[in-house]
């Protein structure tokens, strides 16, 4: 039945004693199995809400007193069940009755009702919770350990486990007999009249009972001795059970990273069972335990890895290593792990950075690290500032992950503490350091995932287990699957799910189940309404009614609506698309239609076709690989796919054949750039970038000039006319890893890419941790209370809007008065929410008010160093962590207060406005009203100002001077008064102060410039507005430049109002 831990025992007692029917939270189906076993003799009826006849069967059970188990309910229950849950029973004609729906039925007192859900963390509304007894049967570490210990001992020492089971049953039987004796004695005593000593029957019963109880007591003593011996022998295998149970909780947490990463306890136990039979045997218990632990850990890694996307495989290895360090070896504290994932929670003003080379964010983290773990890092800030040379050498070297730390630091820090040091120094290289850490903790094979093996997945499956392809963009497993089916001579029927395809799919499965064929259901994520039916079909597969040759294959993108039961019991597989420019190029040459000789050699102008074809393959790889660079590559991450490429290739050949006299580049550029690929592009600046990139490959020089190169390095070019194999060989000769210069980006783009990868991995690991961790030895509540009090003290109270309106009334010729008052209204909404929520959180932490779900989310976000969603709903866009966000908010409020007190500033901090567009419109409006011109004809002339000296608006008071912007992808050089290339490792640099001078469009000053977009945050993407731009976009700036426009467009250069630090 249930595991033998105290948690499960408490649950069992609650369930048997509660007055309301139990609703069991049971993701691993532990309670489900227990109820089925317990009620087997009572003719248990198992129902689901999705069964067509469930109400009729339920009514029968209520009448005849059979127990009912209602499985797999969601977060809402059928309203028809309400009278049953409330036990609204009444007497009718001398017997009990209950009204269900329209029917009144007899109610048997023997009826019992159990409800289970597979949801891991369901949110039941209060009106559901008060009608049932909610019991959490989620398996505990101790409970699983006890189960696994039973399994390993039953396989390794079957005689011990058999004896143990006998003793448990004997103990239960003895307890039952003692209870019977007690009942008999009480009955005799209560029935006896007169002197009990004269009642011969009573005396006989009592004396025989005494003999029996003495006999039972002696048996119990012997049993206890035997049990102690057995337990000692069993405990020899406890390290295996403990190790394996910890691993189960690691894989359970993966579901927070992707909804498709679901694994059942039954699957896990079966894998453990296989390990016991396959691992190396030994008579020495210690050696056998080591073999079991080693074999199972790697078997689990291989089995889980095949269902993970490439990006999550290192994350899984790292979670395994840290899970074992925390729970088995005790060499890692939760506070250390949380610091690695969050960088500590910043409270108060950021510390002053005395170094010129270490960015402010990393210096602040170094200071927090020294406070959080003084035993290891107390001297770190002193060492960084006092003796910077060796630290700076690591910061600037190409491979800092492999570099030794300065002096004693290298020897004194543990492997995990070196990770913390790497986070402070070079967070972008943390992934490489994590790889080395996993290799040191678990071994090299845990950082080398096994290749995709369809045959092995098939061998591990059966007719009852579905095989699930979890898709990623650019991957279609159908070709490989059909080829595999052909090799096994299996007949395959496939159907792409969508509207109205469900019944057809069900019919295909039914036919194949009888005849032993294979069925492939593609794109399950598009048929969410049919998923419950699929779940029912999968659960209905039984060995008696299903051919052993039958297989059900499913393909789906990650979807939260995919049935958990199917995921847990199925075999999941992923096969990521080729990674890197060379692999992508090769993929295009090996795919249809390019790999078809009749197509490759079918153009009437072979030399021109093959050069343009190579250019198009390169373009396809180029636009996909740019996705890795985040907003520097594309503002919106588009999923350019194989069909985009295929149609463009076919059009290329068709146009060259149909226009023999000319090179139709304009038509091809339009079709490929604006239609085939551009059809996906929603952002105006991304469209500009796409066309600029296409110009590199679709130009006359690329076709006619053999010395033409695609990038400054000269490594990438279209080879001269040759055979198909010549082109494939040329692609194979290209570098495995392409430098950013190939994509038109600066070398610093690699740092951006690595930093994004680090951030994504740490965010996923943080989601796996939950929120119950303490920080630096202090409780979570204590940290939160201190943080909330500090923020509330620092953030100013809302502004007095009435006073501001009185001082700055609405004025036709001074729009800035209106801008100021509107800004104050917006800031007040945000400030009010901040103060109200912080006050409520502090009260909730003290127990004065209820900790609501919203306050719980607020506390979790603050503890993780993130800005709470309740604040962001009323806030200006920001990507800053909590500490920097609060500092930024205070600075914005100071700017507004200064404006109220002292009047408009000489220069405006543009980033300080809540809604920047209102300020810019105000400047234009002042000009339009003063000079009596229509505002829609007014634009800005831009003048970049020198760094030194006071700046004020242009003569006559028109326009405004703005400051506080940043440049990404390039830097501003005041001496050259132009945009120039970024300095190494400097991702963002200060932008110049600018004078915005309103003028009529026809009178705008022109000069050699780059039309540079200005965005509010580094994310760059927002909601697409009716203007065709994202809501993150502010305006186009004209920035002086001596380089052609395309150079900076491909570099992804933009001005930003705020950073993410």
CA gyration radius for the chain?
36
- Model confidence band, residue 770 (pLDDT cutoffs 50, 70, 90): low
**For the chain, what percent of residues have pLDDT higher than 90?**
49
pLDDT at 775 over 70: no
What residues contact 507, with CB distance under 8 A and at least 6 apart? none
Is the Cβ–Cβ distance between 35 and 175 less than 8 Å?
no
What is the chain's length?
A: 1061
- Backbone phi and psi for residue 743, each to the nearest 5 degrees, phi listed first: -90, 10
pLDDT at 640 over 90: no
pLDDT (tens digit, 9 = 90+) per residue, 489-547? 999 999 999 888 889 999 999 999 988 899 999 999 988 888 888 988 888 888 888 99
Residues facing residue 98 across a β-bridge: 89, 105
CATH homologous superfamily for 6-139? P-loop containing nucleotide triphosphate hydrolases (3.40.50.300)
**For residue 165, what is the DSSP state?**
H
Q: Could you give the residue ranges of the DSSP H alpha helices within 138-157?
A: 141-156
> Does the CA dihedral 604-608-614-616 come out positive or negative?
negative
Q: What is the pLDDT of residue 824?
A: 95
pLDDT (tens digit, 9 = 90+) per residue, 787-842? 999 999 999 999 999 999 999 898 888 889 999 999 999 999 999 999 999 999 99
Report residue 53 CA to chain centroid gap: 39
CA distance 961 to 379: 44
CA distance 647 to 644: 6
pLDDT (tens digit, 9 = 90+) per residue, 318-347? 999 999 999 998 889 988 999 999 888 776
Q: What is the pLDDT of residue 351?
A: 78
- Model confidence band, residue 774 (pLDDT cutoffs 50, 70, 90): very low
CATH number of 581-680+687-737: 1.10.8.720
Domains of the chain, by residue range, sit at 6-139, 154-193+205-232, 454-573, 581-680+687-737, 779-904, 906-1061
pLDDT at 634 over 90: yes
Q: What is the pLDDT of residue 1006?
A: 85
Q: What is the pLDDT of residue 173?
A: 82
Kindly tell me the burial class for residue 329, based on how many C-beta atoms sit within 10 Å of its own C-beta (0-12, 13-18, 19 or more). exposed
User: In the CATH hierarchy, which fold is given to the domain comprising 906-1061?
Assistant: Hypothetical upf0131 protein ytfp (3.10.490)
User: In the CATH hierarchy, which fold is given to the domain comprising 454-573?
Assistant: Rossmann fold (3.40.50)
Do domains 6-139 and 906-1061 share one topology? The answer is: no
pLDDT at 771 over 70: no
Q: What is the pLDDT of residue 408?
A: 87
Q: What is the pLDDT of residue 772?
A: 47
- Model confidence band, residue 776 (pLDDT cutoffs 50, 70, 90): very low
DSSP letter string, 800-865: -HHHHHHHS---TT-HHHHHHHHHHHHHHHHHHHHHHHHHHHHHHHHTSS---HHHHHHHHHHHTT
Highest mean pLDDT among 223-237, 338-352, 976-990: 976-990
pLDDT (tens digit, 9 = 90+) per residue, 1010-1051? 999 999 999 998 877 666 667 889 999 999 999 999 999 999
What residues contact 526, with CB distance under 8 A and at least 6 apart? 497, 498
pLDDT (tens digit, 9 = 90+) per residue, 563-617? 888 998 899 999 887 778 998 899 889 888 888 899 999 888 898 999 999 999 9
pLDDT at 778 over 70: no
Pairing of the two strands 966-968 and 1054-1056: antiparallel
**For residue 969, what is the DSSP state?**
S
Q: What is the pLDDT of residue 216?
A: 82
CA distance 363 to 350: 9
pLDDT (tens digit, 9 = 90+) per residue, 1044-1054? 999 999 999 99
Average pLDDT over residues 991-997: 93
Q: Could you tell me the two tokens for 840?
A: 């409520």
| Exposure string for 785-822, b = 16+ CB within 10 A, e = fewer | bebbebbeeebeebbeeeebbeebeeeeebbbbbbbbb
Is the Cβ–Cβ distance between 512 and 550 less than 8 Å?
yes
- Model confidence band, residue 997 (pLDDT cutoffs 50, 70, 90): very high
Mean confidence (pLDDT) of the chain: 88
pLDDT (tens digit, 9 = 90+) per residue, 55-110? 899 999 999 999 999 988 888 888 889 999 999 999 988 889 999 888 899 999 99
Average pLDDT over residues 395-403: 87
Average pLDDT over residues 907-918: 93
């Amino acid at each position: 039945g249930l595991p033998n831990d105290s948690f499960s025992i408490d649950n069992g007692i609650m369930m048997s004693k509660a007055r309301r029917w139990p609703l069991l939270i049971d993701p691993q189906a532990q309670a489900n199995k227990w109820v089925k076993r317990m009620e087997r003799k009572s003719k248990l009826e198992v129902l689901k809400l999705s069964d067509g006849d469930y109400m009729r069967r339920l009514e029968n059970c209520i009448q005849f007193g059979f127990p009912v188990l209602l499985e797999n309910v969601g977060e809402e229950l059928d309203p028809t069940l309400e009278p049953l849950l409330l036990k609204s029973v009444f007497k009718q004609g001398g017997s009990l009755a209950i009204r269900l729906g329209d029917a009144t039925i007899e109610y048997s007192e023997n009826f019992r009702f159990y409800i289970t859900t597979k949801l891991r963390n369901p949110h039941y509304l209060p009106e559901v919770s008060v009608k049932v007894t909610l019991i959490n049967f989620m398996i505990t570490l101790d409970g699983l350990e006890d189960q696994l210990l039973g399994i390993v001992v039953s396989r390794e020492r079957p005689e011990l486990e058999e004896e143990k089971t006998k003793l448990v049953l004997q103990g239960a039987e003895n307890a039952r007999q003692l209870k019977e004796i007690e009942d008999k004695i009480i009955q005799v005593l209560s029935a006896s009249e007169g002197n009990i000593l004269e009642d011969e029957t009573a005396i006989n019963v009592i004396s025989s009972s005494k003999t029996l109880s003495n006999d039972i007591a002696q048996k119990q003593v012997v049993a206890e001795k035997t049990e102690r011996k057995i337990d000692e022998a069993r405990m020899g295998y406890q390290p295996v059970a403990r190790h394996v149970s910890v691993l189960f909780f690691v894989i359970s947490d993966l579901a927070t990273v992707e909804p498709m990463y679901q694994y059942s306890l039954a699957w896990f136990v079966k894998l453990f069972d296989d390990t016991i039979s396959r691992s190396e045997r030994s008579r020495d218990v210690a050696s056998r335990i080591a073999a079991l632990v080693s074999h199972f850990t790697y078997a689990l890694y291989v089995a889980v890895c095949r269902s993970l996307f490439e990006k999550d495989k290192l994350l899984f290895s790292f979670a395994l290593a840290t899970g074992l360090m925390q729970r088995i070896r005790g060499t890692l504290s939760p506070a250390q792990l949380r610091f690695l994932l969050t960088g500590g929670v910043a409270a108060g003003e950021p510390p002053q950075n005395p170094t010129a080379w270490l960015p402010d964010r990393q210096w602040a983290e170094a200071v927090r690290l020294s406070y959080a773990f003084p035993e290891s890092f107390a001297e770190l800030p002193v060492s960084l500032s006092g003796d910077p040379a060796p630290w700076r050498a690591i910061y600037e070297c190409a491979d800092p992950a492999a570099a030794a730390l300065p002096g004693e630091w290298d020897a004194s820090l543990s492997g995990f503490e070196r990770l913390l040091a790497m986070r402070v120094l070079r967070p972008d290289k943390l992934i490489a350091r994590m790889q080395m850490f996993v290799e040191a903790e678990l071994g090299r094979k845990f950082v080398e995932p096994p290749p995709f093996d369809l045959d092995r997945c098939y061998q591990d499956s059966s007719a009852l287990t579905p095989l699930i392809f979890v898709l990623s963009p650019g991957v279609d497993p159908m070709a490989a699957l059909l080829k595999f089916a052909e090799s096994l001579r299996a007949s395959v029927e496939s159907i792409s799910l969508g509207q109205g395809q469900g019944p057809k799919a069900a019919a295909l499965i039914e036919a194949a189940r009888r005849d032993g064929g294979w069925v492939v259901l593609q794109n399950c994520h598009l048929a969410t309404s049919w998923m419950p039916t699929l779940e029912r079909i999968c659960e209905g597969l039984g060995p008696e009614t299903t051919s052993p040759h039958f297989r059900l294959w499913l393909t789906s993108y990650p979807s939260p609506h995919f049935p958990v039961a199917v995921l847990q019991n199925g075999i999941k597989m992923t096969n990521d698309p080729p990674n890197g420019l060379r692999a992508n190029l090769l993929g295009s040459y090996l795919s249809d239609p390019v790999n078809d000789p009749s197509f490759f050699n079918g153009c009437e102008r072979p030399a021109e076709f093959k050069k343009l074809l190579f250019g198009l393959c390169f373009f396809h790889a180029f636009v996909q690989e740019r996705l890795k660079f985040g907003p520097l590559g594309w503002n919106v991450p588009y999923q350019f796919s194989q069909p985009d490429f295929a149609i463009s290739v076919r059009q290329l050949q068709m146009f060259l054949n149909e226009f023999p006299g000319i090179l139709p580049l304009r038509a091809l550029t339009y079709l490929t750039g604006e239609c085939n690929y551009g059809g996906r592009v929603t952002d105006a600046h991304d469209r500009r970038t796409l066309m600029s990139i296409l110009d590199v490959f679709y130009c006359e020089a690329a076709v006619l000039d053999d010395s033409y190169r695609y990038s400054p390095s000269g490594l990438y070019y279209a080879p001269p006319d040759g055979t198909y194999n010549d082109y494939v060989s040329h692609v194979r000769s290209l570098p495995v890893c392409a430098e950013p210069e190939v994509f038109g980006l600066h070398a610093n783009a690699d740092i951006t890419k690595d930093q994004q990868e680090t951030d994504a991995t740490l965010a996923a690991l943080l989601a796996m941790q939950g929120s119950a961790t303490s920080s630096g030895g202090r409780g979570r509540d204590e940290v939160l209370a201190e943080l909330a009090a500090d923020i509330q003290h620092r953030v100013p109270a809302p502004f007095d809007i009435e006073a501001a309106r009185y001082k700055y009334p609405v004025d036709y010729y001074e729009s800035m008065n209106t801008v100021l008052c509107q800004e104050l209204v917006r800031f007040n909404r945000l400030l009010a929410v901040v103060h109200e929520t912080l006050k409520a959180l502090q009260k909730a932490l003290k127990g004065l008010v209820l900790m609501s779900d919203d306050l719980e989310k607020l506390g979790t976000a603050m503890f993780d160093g993130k800005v709470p969603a309740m604040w962001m709903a009323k806030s200006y866009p920001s990507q800053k962590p909590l500490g920097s966000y609060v500092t930024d908010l205070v600075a914005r409020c100071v700017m507004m207060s200064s404006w109220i007190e002292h009047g408009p500033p000489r220069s405006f901090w543009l980033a300080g406005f809540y809604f920047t567009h209102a300020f810019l419109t105000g400047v234009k409006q002042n000009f339009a009203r003063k000079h009596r011109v229509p505002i829609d004809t007014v634009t800005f002339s831009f003048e970049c100002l020198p760094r030194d000296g006071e700046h004020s608006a242009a003569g006559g008071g028109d326009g405004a001077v703005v400051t506080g912007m940043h440049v990404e992808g390039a830097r501003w050089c005041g001496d050259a008064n132009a945009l120039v290339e970024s300095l190494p490792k400097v991702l963002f640099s200060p932008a110049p102060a600018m004078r915005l001078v309103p003028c009529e469009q026809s009178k705008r000053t022109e000069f050699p410039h780059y039309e540079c977009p200005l965005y509010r945050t580094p994310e760059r993407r927002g909601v697409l507005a009716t203007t065709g731009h994202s809501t993150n976009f502010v305006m186009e700036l004209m920035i002086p430049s001596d380089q052609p426009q395309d150079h900076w467009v491909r570099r992804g250069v933009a001005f930003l109002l705020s950073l993410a630090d």
